[in-house]
């Protein structure tokens, strides 16, 4: 989860100049926002359900140590394995060593933000393991050698024509293959089918872990998720340590909100609950030797599922966030609604953020996990309009945390020089009324030169970043204090 070599503002400038990107974002986010609005309008007592879901998340995180222990115990009782990873290096090392020990040659992956956070693909490929993304959006991203730009729609930034050109270049697609979206999807399905059948390991994310049963829930709109987790002999599931619910009943609450918030569906097409690897039958139990274990498992009473299930529980700064004023961001269920509604994301897309987690949630989570010193620009990628808080199914107060991180960035000395100087001058003037009034008079005089018809189209210096894209209102001819005195007189 590292920033690119260019600054956030340089990435923003590039995004704003990309007309195809802007068109693709407008089309997709507008559709998602409309679908979400309609889905919640038809949900009885939607507000009460959101309040209940928030209570569940708050309770879970307040008792996270207990629920993590309960979850791990249940997973192991079901025959699964738990890896506690404090850092990405620990998580990647576990997976790579497992792949080497089991002779894994090919890995198929379902969509997982945690795997992007870990950059596990690079680690496995460096170890000689072939990795294939099987979510259609992630597959396209992998072909393009890019990163996802949205939490639920990785390829939201590309148009159909751009994807067709990519398929023609990378997959040697014919005109018939690219005739329409179903044809393009069918091409990708044909390409991926053989990979599912020959893969030795499947890697998935975890939308929710259920503490009481040790189950993991995977929510997808494509069948690739089920193929990834059942066809290979090894299933590795990657989960942030906060992604727990106490009970299956609590899971039901979350599922009612997740799909509606994300895509406007009542429920995603595939909601999979996985509890341990395939269960061993009586014949498998009688065969105790290690060399016979694999074949015995394949003759078990359960026909489907992996021989091994390994669940990676990742910290990577989450325990630090949990004990801070940013703990509320861990309520997030990764629906992506805040990205779709955010006026900043709608204009610049996900890649401009330079992080695995873009949009309002990423502007809090990334500096929270990795430190505001390296990511001080992200909390400023917001108009503080509060739309993200309104649409969030967990009612996360993102604007409050953005302001906290902005203040932390200034304390860390990350504010630009002009802003530091401006704040010092403001602090100097605001406690000296005569100086404050003088500054106001000078500002109004300056605006007379810069403004036309009550608006300025070009401000000087760093303030031009505002007027490059929108006009700035001229200062009122008289201050409030002046008008107040005149009214009283």
Task: Please check whether residue 211 lies inside any domain of the structure.
Answer: yes
Tens-digit pLDDT profile for residues 403-414: 999 999 988 988
Q: Are residues 430 and 410 in the same domain?
A: no
Domain that holds residue 333: 1-37+326-415
User: Which one of 289, 316, 343 terminates a domain?
Assistant: 316
Task: Please check whether residue 339 lies inside any domain of the structure.
Answer: yes
Q: Compute CA distances 408 → 7, 183, 426, 429, whole Å.
A: 19, 50, 19, 23
Task: Please check whether residue 321 lies inside any domain of the structure.
Answer: no
Q: Are residues 335 and 454 in the same domain?
A: no
Low-confidence ranges of the chain (pLDDT < 70): 1-5, 281-301
Burial class (CB in 10 A: 0-12, 13-18, 19+), 154: buried
Residue 62: give its domain's CATH number. 3.40.50.10420
Question: Can you tell me the distance from the alpha carbon of 387 to that of 129, in angstroms, rounded to the nearest whole number?
Answer: 43
Does an H or E element contain 184, and which?
A: helix 181-198
Question: Can you tell me the distance from the alpha carbon of 94 to that of 101, in angstroms, rounded to the nearest whole number?
Answer: 10
User: Which one of 268, 290, 316 terminates a domain?
Assistant: 316
Question: Can you tell me the distance from the alpha carbon of 452 to that of 143, in angstroms, rounded to the nearest whole number?
Answer: 50
How many domains are there within the chain?
A: 3
| End-to-end Cα spacing for the chain | 62
User: Which one of 295, 316, 337 terminates a domain?
Assistant: 316
pLDDT value of position 465:
81
The set of residues, in sequence order, having a beta carbon less than 8 Å from that of 438 and lying 6+ positions away, is: none
pLDDT value of position 2:
58
Task: Please check whether residue 428 lies inside any domain of the structure.
Answer: yes
pLDDT value of position 293:
55
Q: Are residues 186 and 81 in the same domain?
A: yes
Q: Where are the beta strands (DSSP E) in 252-348?
A: 270-274, 308-314
Residues 349 and 147 sit within 8 Å (Cβ to Cβ)? no
Q: Are residues 278 and 136 in the same domain?
A: yes
pLDDT value of position 283:
46
Task: Please check whether residue 360 lies inside any domain of the structure.
Answer: yes
Which pTM value belongs to this model? 0.88
Q: Are residues 176 and 49 in the same domain?
A: yes
Q: Are residues 27 and 50 in the same domain?
A: no
Q: Are residues 122 and 187 in the same domain?
A: yes
User: What 3-state class would DSSP assign to 399?
Assistant: helix
Tens-digit pLDDT profile for residues 146-202: 999 999 999 999 999 999 999 999 999 999 999 999 999 999 999 999 899 999 999
Q: Are residues 433 and 480 in the same domain?
A: yes
Task: Please check whether residue 185 lies inside any domain of the structure.
Answer: yes
Q: Are residues 78 and 10 in the same domain?
A: no
Residues 84 and 178 sit within 8 Å (Cβ to Cβ)? no
Task: Please check whether residue 481 lies inside any domain of the structure.
Answer: yes
Residue 411: give its domain's CATH number. 1.10.1060
Residues 239 and 120 sit within 8 Å (Cβ to Cβ)? no
Q: Are residues 64 and 152 in the same domain?
A: yes
Find, among 93, 103, 9, 74, the residue nearest to 381 by Cα: 9
Task: Please check whether residue 447 lies inside any domain of the structure.
Answer: yes
Q: Are residues 7 and 54 in the same domain?
A: no
Q: Are residues 16 and 66 in the same domain?
A: no
């Amino acid at each position: 989860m590292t920033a690119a070599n260019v600054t956030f503002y340089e990435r923003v400038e590039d995004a704003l100049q990309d007309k195809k990107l802007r068109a693709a974002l407008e089309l997709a986010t507008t559709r998602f926002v409309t679908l979400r609005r309609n889905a919640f309008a038809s949900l009885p007592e939607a507000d009460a359900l959101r309040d209940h879901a928030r209570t569940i998340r708050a309770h879970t995180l307040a008792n996270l140590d207990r629920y993590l222990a309960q979850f791990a115990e249940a997973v192991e009782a079901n025959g699964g394995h738990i890896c506690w990873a404090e850092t990405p290096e620990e998580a990647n090392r576990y997976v790579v060593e497992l792949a080497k020990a089991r002779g894994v040659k090919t890995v198929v992956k379902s969509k997982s933000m945690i795997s992007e956070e870990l950059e596990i693909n690079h680690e496995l490929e460096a170890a000689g393991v072939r990795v294939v993304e099987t979510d259609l959006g992630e597959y396209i991203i992998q072909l393009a050698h890019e990163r996802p730009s949205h939490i639920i729609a990785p390829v939201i930034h590309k148009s159909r024509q751009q994807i067709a050109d990519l398929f023609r270049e990378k997959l040697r697609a014919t005109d018939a293959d690219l005739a329409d979206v179903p044809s393009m999807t069918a091409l990708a399905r044909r390409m991926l089918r053989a990979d599912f059948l020959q893969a030795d390991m499947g890697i998935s994310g975890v939308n929710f872990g259920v503490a009481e049963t040790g189950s993991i829930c995977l929510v997808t709109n494509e069948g690739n998720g089920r193929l990834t987790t059942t066809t290979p002999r090894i299933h590795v599931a990657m989960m942030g340590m906060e992604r727990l619910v106490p009970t299956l009943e609590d899971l039901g609450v979350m599922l009612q909100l997740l799909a509606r918030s994300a895509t406007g569906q009542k429920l995603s097409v595939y909601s999979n609950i996985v509890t341990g690897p395939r269960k061993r039958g009586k014949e498998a139990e009688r065969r105790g030797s290690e060399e016979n274990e694999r074949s015995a498992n394949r003759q078990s009473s359960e026909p489907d599922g992996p021989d091994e299930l390994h669940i990676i529980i990742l910290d990577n700064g989450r325990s630090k966030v949990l004990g801070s004023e940013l703990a509320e961001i861990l309520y997030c269920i990764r629906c992506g609604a805040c990205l779709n509604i955010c006026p900043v994301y709608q204009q610049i897309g996900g890649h401009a953020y330079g992080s695995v987690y873009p949009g309002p949630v990423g502007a809090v989570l990334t500096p929270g996990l990795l430190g505001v010193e390296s990511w001080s620009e992200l909390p400023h990628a917001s108009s503080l309009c509060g739309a993200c808080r309104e649409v969030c199914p967990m009612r996360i107060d993102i604007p409050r945390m953005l302001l906290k991180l902005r203040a932390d960035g200034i304390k860390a000395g990350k504010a630009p020089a002009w802003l530091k100087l401006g704040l010092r001058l403001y602090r100097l003037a605001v406690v000296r009324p005569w100086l404050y009034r003088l500054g106001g008079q000078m500002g109004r005089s300056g605006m007379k030169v810069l403004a036309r018809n009550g608006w300025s189209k070009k401000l000087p210096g760093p303030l031009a970043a505002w007027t490059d894209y929108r006009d700035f209102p001229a200062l009122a001819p008289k201050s409030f204090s002046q008008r107040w005195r005149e009214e009283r007189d």
